[in-house]
């Protein structure tokens, strides 16, 4: 991982991508979240040679994970937290507000710019931010809590994520993932169980205040993972 150096400004990003600010109620407050709400418009702003920056979108999985954290402040306060694939940052910012020390990571510095803006506009200290590529991961610090919202969609990344979970989660730590019940996510969970992890699953239905969302109700699986053998 490497710290963000000179990421693009928010105004430069707003000139290129259709950023909007929407209100999301989480816990006992409403969060103002700047993000892209129109996926088609996002694709219009992307060059053919670059990957689609899906991290600018606010996903239902991120809202579900943030809501899960808000209901469990005792698991968050004072803890060391790593957020993988932070995107616009909602889950990590919720953890930061609850008193955790958060490191947010993403492979795109531009989405981390938006995450930092979201922290500032909600009165939350900006977490430490690092650019990180799961395929070239050398970070060795361990965390009490690892968070990931909608990061399991690409099967090709599972072989990189599993070692990160193993290396960077403290022996008695908790890995909390959220996913809209994709089959490939359940495949990784099955692999973790085979490797000696305990996995608990609970479901949450999330609706975002977005006009162009085809499916207004999304059923999100909250996956809470811990090691059965805490000696490793």
Residue 90 lies in a domain: yes
Under DSSP, the state recorded for 57 is B
Report the percentage of the chain scoring pLDDT > 70: 91
* Nearest Cα to Cα of residue 132 among 160, 159, 94: 160
Phi, psi of 154 (to 5 degrees): -110, 110
DSSP string, 157-211: GHHHHHHHHHHHEEEEEEEEEEES--HHHHHHHHHHHHTTEEEEEEEEEE----T
Confidence of residue 38 (pLDDT cuts 50, 70, 90): confident
Give the domain CATH number at 66: 3.40.50.150
CA distance 130 to 105: 5
**What would the two tokens of residue 70 be?**
């808000």
Query: 118: part of which helix (H) or strand (E)?
Result: helix 109-121
Output b/e per residue, 132-158; b: 16+ Cβ within 10 A.
bebeebebeeebbbbbbbbbbeeeebb
Could you read off the pLDDT of 93-152 as tens digits, one per residue? 999 999 999 999 999 999 999 999 999 999 999 999 999 999 999 999 999 999 999 999
pLDDT of residue 62: 98
E strand or H helix at 102:
strand 101-106
* 232: in domain: no
Q: Quick check: is 132 in a domain?
A: yes
pTM (predicted TM-score):
0.92
**Which pLDDT value is given to residue 183?**
95
Q: Is the pLDDT of residue 232 over 60?
A: no
Measure the CA angle with vertex 197, ends 203 and 219; round to 5°: 15
CA distance 41 to 45: 7
CA-based R_g, the chain, Å: 17
**Structurally, how many domains does the chain consist of?**
1
For residue range 204-216, list pLDDT tens digits in order.
999 988 766 656 7
The answer to the question of residue 37 being in a domain is yes
Express as a percent the part of the chain with pLDDT over 90: 78
Q: Is residue 189 in a domain?
A: yes
Please, how many CA atoms are within 13 Å of residue 89, restricted to the half-sphere of its CB? Answer: 34
| pLDDT of 192 over the 90 cut | yes
Looking up tokens 């707003």 gives: 14
Q: Can you give the residue range of the structural domain that contains 10? A: 2-227
Checking if the pLDDT of 61 tops 70, the result is: yes
Residue 25 lies in a domain: yes
Of the pLDDT bands very low, low, confident and very high (cuts 50, 70, 90), residue 45 is: low
Q: pLDDT value at position 49?
A: 44
* Residue 103 covered by a domain: yes
């Amino acid at each position: 991982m490497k710290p963000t150096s000179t990421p693009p400004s928010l105004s430069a990003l707003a000139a290129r991508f259709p950023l909007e600010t929407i209100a999301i109620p989480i816990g006992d407050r409403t969060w103002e979240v700047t993000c892209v709400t129109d996926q088609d418009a996002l694709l219009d702003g992307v060059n053919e040679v670059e990957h689609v920056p899906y991290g600018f979108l606010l996903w239902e999985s991120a809202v579900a994970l943030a809501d899960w954290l808000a209901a469990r402040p005792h698991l968050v306060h004072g803890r060391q937290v790593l957020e993988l694939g932070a995107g616009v940052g909602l889950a990590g910012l919720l953890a930061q507000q609850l008193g955790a020390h958060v490191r947010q990571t993403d492979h795109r510095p531009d989405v981390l710019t938006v995450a930092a803006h979201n922290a500032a506009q909600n009165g939350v200290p900006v977490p430490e931010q690092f650019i990180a590529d799961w395929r070239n991961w050398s970070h060795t610090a361990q965390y009490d809590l690892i968070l990931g919202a909608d990061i399991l969609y690409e099967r090709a990344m599972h072989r990189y994520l599993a070692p990160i979970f193993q290396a960077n989660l403290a022996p008695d730590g908790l890995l909390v993932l959220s996913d809209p019940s994709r089959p490939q996510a359940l495949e990784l969970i099955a692999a973790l169980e085979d490797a000696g992890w305990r996995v608990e699953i609970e479901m949450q239905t999330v609706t975002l205040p977005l006009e162009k969302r085809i499916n207004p109700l999304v059923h999100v699986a909250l996956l809470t993972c811990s090691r059965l053998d805490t000696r490793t």
